[in-house]
Amino acid sequence: MDSDNHLNARRPEVIIEANIPFIRGILEPVADVSYLEPERFTPETVATADAIVTRTRVKCCEDLLGESRVSFIASATIGLDHVDLPWCRSHGITVVNAPGCNAPAVAQYVFASLLSLPDFGPLDGKTLGVVGVGNVGRIVADWGERLGMRVMRCDPPRALAEGATGFSSIEEIAADADAITFHTPLTRSGDCPTYHLCDDSLLAGMTRRPVIINSARGPVADNEALIRALRDKRISDVVIDCWENEPDISRTLLDMAAVATPHIAGYSRQGKIRATQMAVDALTAHFGLPATQWSEKMADGAKATISAGLIAASYDPMADTAMLRRDPASFERLRNHYHLREELS
């Protein structure tokens, strides 16, 4: 990598994933910028880059970056499971993400989906289990209570740090909830791995035949287990936005799910602007570049005015479901060219 003095003497070279919205023209005054489709990120194309701004389709690991001078990665997403964080840390690469950027949009998706299910009925009085109560899960839980639902929160790391009061186990949620929504990162090791957190064992304990919602990461829910649970009537419906093996998704689950969308739960205009702002602001701070002035400041989604009527009118998940069912092979195209919806304000 170049020395700091060498970098300070020139404009940083930044490669940006071409599908990131609201970013073109923002960094050009202070950096040498190029845009690439995800499949064009190769060891050759990133070799001279100082920084990468990306989303989840670019795998940032030794294979891509081992011979590069990249010192900074900004992911305009909440999740970072596409980044080999231990390798990046060991090689002095700073990695940042955009925590909470799409939380209000995901809450909008969750409740619009529940409201679209004819057999679920009014939200008021129903029990909602929220698994993972971080930036997104907090807002989902808050909206649930504001909509008259009884909310059960499951977050073992938070319960350990803050005390068990106010938290439920995932087994308690499985037994008591009318709908269970997952908002965890994807982890495969450690004290609380979330890979296949929703599996046959957990689904077997769901006594109230709940609706299962996955808008977290695809492998958090075992897709084959969801199919078995639907066939065995252990759950009533599935709302799925994040799939295993994207974009090569299960056609069986696509046909069986009540709501099936192409990983767009957080795709609001405001959420995308937040994510881009957070990525750009972190990059300019890292390289000591002039701060960028943003013309649009985002409101706090936790303070949005909500009601069942407003949510239902703001977004129709069945329209996105119909488009994906018509052409499942268009998953990536639908995702990359999604018409960004407006959040509730």
Span 19-76, pLDDT tens digits: 999 999 999 999 999 999 999 999 999 999 999 999 988 999 999 999 999 999 999 9
Kindly report the CATH number that applies to the domain delimited by 103-266+309-336.
3.40.50.720
**Among 176-185, 236-245, 288-297, the least confident range:** 288-297
Asked if domains 4-97 and 103-266+309-336 share a fold, the reply is: yes
Q: Tell me the per-residue pLDDT of 137-154, one tens digit each, with 9 for 90 and over.
A: 999 999 999 999 999 999
pLDDT tens per residue, range 186-214: 999 888 999 999 999 999 999 999 999 99
Q: Give the per-residue pLDDT at 240.
A: 98
Q: According to the model, what pLDDT value does residue 3 have?
A: 42
Pairing of the two strands 211-214 and 237-240: parallel
What is the model's pLDDT at position 345?
80
Two tokens, residue 141? 């839980």
Report which of residues 3 and 55 the model is more confident about.
Answer: 55
Q: How confident is the model at residue 104 (pLDDT cuts 50, 70, 90)?
A: very high
Peptide bond into 247 cis (omega under 30): yes
CA distance 218 to 282: 27
Write out the catalytic residue numbers: 217, 246, 263
Please give the CATH architecture assigned to the domain spanning 4-97. Answer: 3-Layer(aba) Sandwich (3.40)
| pLDDT score of 2 more than 50 | no
pLDDT at 330 over 80: yes
pLDDT of residue 38: 94
Give pLDDT, residue 294. Answer: 75
- CA–CA separation, 120 vs 126, rounded Å? 9
pLDDT given for residue 5 in this prediction:
44
> Residue 1 — pLDDT band, cuts 50, 70, 90?
very low
- Mean pLDDT of the chain, nearest integer: 94
Q: Check if the beta carbon of residue 241 is closer than 8 Å to that of residue 214.
A: yes
Among 6-10, 11-15, 161-165, 339-343, which is the least confidently predicted range?
6-10
Q: How confident is the model at residue 304 (pLDDT cuts 50, 70, 90)?
A: confident
* CA neighbor of 137 nearest in space, from 113, 175, 106: 106
For the chain, what percent of residues have pLDDT higher than 70? 95
For 333, the token pair is 């195209």
Q: What is the helix (H) or strand (E) element at residue 96, kind and residue range? A: strand 94-96
Domain limits of the chain? 4-97, 103-266+309-336
